[in-house]
Amino acid sequence: MPLRMPVRMSSTGLLSSYLLVLFALLLFVQPTNARAAIDAQNLGAKYDATASNITFRVYSSRATRIEVWIYKTAQGAQEKVSYVLTKDTTTNIWSKTVSVATLSGTYGITGTVFYGYRAWGPNWPYNSAWTKGTGTGFASDVDANGNRFNPNKLLIDPYTREISHDPITATCQDGSLYATGATHRNKDSGACAPKSIVLATDTTSIGTKPTRALKDDVIYEVHVRGLTMNDTSLPASIRGTYAGAAQKASYLAGLGVTAVEFLPVQETGNDQNDIDPNSTTDDNYWGYMTLNYFAPDRRYASDKTPGGPTREWKAMVKAFHDAGIKVYIDVVYNHTGEGGAWGGTDGLTVYNLYSFRGLDNPTYYSLTSDYQHPWDNTGVGGNYNSRNTIAQNLIVDSLAWWRDALGVDGFRYDLGSVLGNSCQHGCFNFDKNDSGNAINRILSELPSRPAGGGSGVDHIAEPWAIGGNSYQVGGFPSGWAEWNGIYRDALRKKQNKLGLETVTTGTLATRFAGSSDLYGDDGRKPWHSINFMVAHDGFTLNDLYAYNSKQNNQPWPYGPSDGGEDNNNSWDQGGNLAEQRKAARTGMAFLMLSAGVPMFNGGDEALRTQFGNNNAYNLDSAANWLYWTRDSYEADFETYSKRLIAFRKAHPALRPANFYSGVDNNGNVMEQLRWFKPNGAQADSAYFNDANNHAIAWRIDGSELGDGASAIYIAYNGWSGSVNFTLPWPGTGKQWYRVADTATWNEGANTVVTPGSETLIGGENTVYGLEARSVLLLIAK
């Protein structure tokens, strides 16, 4: 989530004296409308089997009239024809079937059909004298029931499979065309507005989906455009596109990545970035302002013609699937690209109408108790009404579209706590036990992947939002994995804030072993913890150890960027470059040697930097794109990352399906895993809880975890000076061999050695001196 802060039904047996009250309540309460199947309402615009007719279907419970306006071209021209839709009063679905032959023969519309909706409602009743660009019939921008209908605004179909362009383009730069309020309400947006596109069925293959268990994944979070924009080895025409990303499948597979997680790729408003390439004002690089939940963003397609983005996306997915890599996408169902109120002569009455708000505002948005403004747990414009059944339909239908038609294997839910809201208007309350909220419905209709692998969806929550009880790390129900922000914070503090923050070795042990305190209480497993040290939000791995504070006010191309977290738990290691590189190696080792699923940010495998900017959401610049040249240190770190990932993949003991038996903070006897003090004695509760202790080691018995007969020993020295570790028993007839030591003396291409090249260290009671803030990895042979 960008850290930018600006911009059910009642019984019918009631006495008649209560009917007026009931009628008023029914204006605001939606029926449960349980569905027999996903997308049962068949919304959107679709050709029939013979492509002879197009049926338009759109939902609105509050509109009094809806028309579909059809265009021959995407922008710059007026409509060719419009039709009035008919409402089904039982389902609130408005529909119209149109002959393709009529569109062609009478109106000259051949090839692609572009369209949009215009809607009237209680705050703007239909008047036959109305013409576009006038206020005829207007009553109010918003009424007491939260309606915001305005027929001057052409609306995107929420269920369209592609849209033609963004609201702001080089030829249509007036964003006020979509606004309400006295100054803007009569401006007609038709010629400039994005058009929905009627697409025929596409048969491009998505390949064979991997069925790998989530516990065995290594996740690589990256931006589609940023992945290849700087890659001069690719043709210029495909850099920054889905086609370009497809060319990186073999690289990521060779690195050891098993799942690529793309920042938002559902259509978002980012064409402005091309209008002034050196601007940071209102630029939308990350993409967390969704305009449509079904359409692949056409800006990332080298083929931008209608249907091109869909075909190119699917071809990219196939390339990753062919390489054995899952494709995850970051989805933003907590707010939309329509945003919140913005200034001007009308102050808070100015809102944009692109789609949802103009069709059924109280259905699609959670509003304040007076229904006049959005409720906001996002900081960027108001909550999507995730507790509403119809709004949930759109979430589930679009997820199913991406899963089934577009080949996606899993989803990361931005500000996922909003999807756990248990109320609609005038409130926010996360409640995982509410069977009717979005997080439980998603699991019900889109089942998660089984623990041992197979078909299903990997559901990953960003388990927080802003305000209320929205911080929910460990609070999601069974079936959900989570970004473990507590893991990140504890390890950053221990590494970078010695003497300033208290993190006990017991806390470290719990995090390294899969965070059973967070995920074990509701039947979840270590692999429901998505472990990360950094993500797109915040510093890169390199910058976490190279800057004491964010550097967001730099000039283009490194900034400026507003917002960004101030409490980063970062440290520049005293400005010592060798120490910075060691710290980065140690941070990567934390990820790959912990139980849970590791995730790192694109480029972290080669010490990518954002030059200290920790909120680069608006920088569509070379400074924010991955770079593909390597100096010697970057090349060494890439080799280090690759070999460390390979070690993790070679040892199932590091990827446990269940919590290690006997793991606790009380020094109890443990079998699969045992914790040790530096002196070789087993760690007890006194040691775990003493804030003065900064070193911990653990031995994993691989023979009990499907890892042959090998034992693994890991030691972390979080102290500011060297510490001697006395090694435990390696197993009968075995000795300890060094795989890796992240210390400064061990820099180079062989910080992690290849299998068979390990260095003999010795047997039980051998003493090993471990440098400050370093990790040691041994294997018994």
Cα of first residue to Cα of last residue in the chain, in angstroms, is: 45
Q: How far apart are CA 325 and CA 209, in angstroms?
A: 8
**Interatomic CA distance for residues 513 and 520, integer angstroms:** 12
The secondary structure of 405-457 as a DSSP string is TS---EEEETTGGGGGB--SSS---B-TT-TTSHHHHHHHHSPBPPTT--SSB
In the set 79, 231, 330, 462, the catalytic residue is 462
Please report which helix (H) or strand (E) contains residue 267, including its range. Answer: none
Nearest Cα neighbor of 260 from 250, 252, 251, 268 is 252
Residue 36 buriedness (CB in 10 A; 0-12 / 13-18 / 19+): exposed
Distance CA 637, CA 649 (A): 18
What values do phi and psi take at 721, rounded to 5? Answer: -130, 170
- The structure tokens 């794109």 sit at 625
Which residue type, as a one-letter code, is found at position 56? F
Give me 681's structure tokens.
């004695």
Please list, in sequence order, all residues whose beta carbon lies within 8 angstroms of the beta carbon of residue 124, skipping any fewer than 6 positions away: 137, 138, 139, 140, 149, 150, 151
> What letter would DSSP give residue 302?
S
Q: Are 155 and 120 in contact (CB under 8 A)?
A: no
Query: Helices then strands (H, E): number in the chain?
Result: 17, 24
The CA distance from 322 to 303, in Å, is 22
Q: How many CB atoms neighbour CB 625 within 10 A?
A: 24
- How far is it, in rounded angstroms, from Cα 538 to Cα 452? 33
Task: Tell me if residue 261 is catalytic.
Answer: no
User: Catalytic residue among 162, 297, 414, 707, which?
Assistant: 414
Let me know: does 769 contact 721? Beta carbons within 8 Å: no
Residues 743, 745, 751, 756: is their CA dihedral positive or negative?
A: negative
For residues 45 and 54, the answer to whether their CB atoms sit within 8 Å is: yes
Return all residues near 49 (Cβ < 8 A) that are at least 6 apart.
none
Residue 689 has φ and ψ, to the nearest 5°, of -95, -5
CB count within 10 Å of CB 108 equals 10
DSSP per residue, 698-714: EEEEGGGTTSTT-EEEE
**Gap between the Cα atoms of 734 and 763, Å rounded:** 7
Distance CA 468, CA 285 (A): 29
Phi, psi of 312 (to 5 degrees): -70, -40
Contact status, residue 377 vs residue 466, Cβ threshold 8 Å: yes
Residue 704: active-site member = no
CA 244 vs CA 238, 239, 304, 342: distances in Å: 5, 5, 14, 37
Do residues 610 and 624 lie in contact, with contact meaning Cβ atoms separated by under 8 Å? yes
Q: Show the tokens assigned to 489.
A: 């914070």
How many other β-carbons are positioned within 10 Å of the β-carbon of residue 565? 14
Q: Point out the residues that are catalytic.
A: 414, 462
